[in-house]
Amino acid sequence: MIMKSTEGGGVIATGAGVSYMRLASLRGMLNLESKGLKGRMGPIRPKIAAEFGLKPRDGYDKFLNAVQAKMEEVAKVVQQENEAEAAKQ
């Protein structure tokens, strides 16, 4: 299941949802970096280039497309987990 709500209004990602949330975070960081904002740890592209099989100097569009494609793959797994969880209940 991608997310569970808590009584206090918090959200907990579980299963493949953790991977999905991580990818969404990477997409957000890449988007901000493409606009000129970098975090304390420096640029994110070189750090994630190997994971996606890209060169560290590839353009932001290429990185964003790779992250989006991976998010779509993980979303299918999350949907399967959600369906399995719903079938249990």
Q: Find the DSSP H helices in the chain.
A: 16-34, 45-52, 60-88
Does the residue 88 lie in any domain?
A: no
Q: How many CB atoms lie within 10 A of CB 38?
A: 11
Query: Residue 15 and residue 22: Cα distance in Å, rounded?
Result: 12
Does the residue 13 lie in any domain?
A: yes
The predicted structure's pLDDT at residue 38: 84
Does the residue 70 lie in any domain?
A: yes
The predicted structure's pLDDT at residue 14: 79
Give me the average pLDDT of each 10-residue run along the chain (89 residues): 75 84 94 91 91 94 97 91 83
Q: How many CB atoms lie within 10 A of CB 18?
A: 14
The predicted structure's pLDDT at residue 89: 76
C-alpha dihedral sign at 72, 21, 44, 31: positive
What is the residue range of 61's domain? Answer: 4-75
The predicted structure's pLDDT at residue 64: 97
Q: What domain count does the chain have?
A: 1
The predicted structure's pLDDT at residue 2: 61
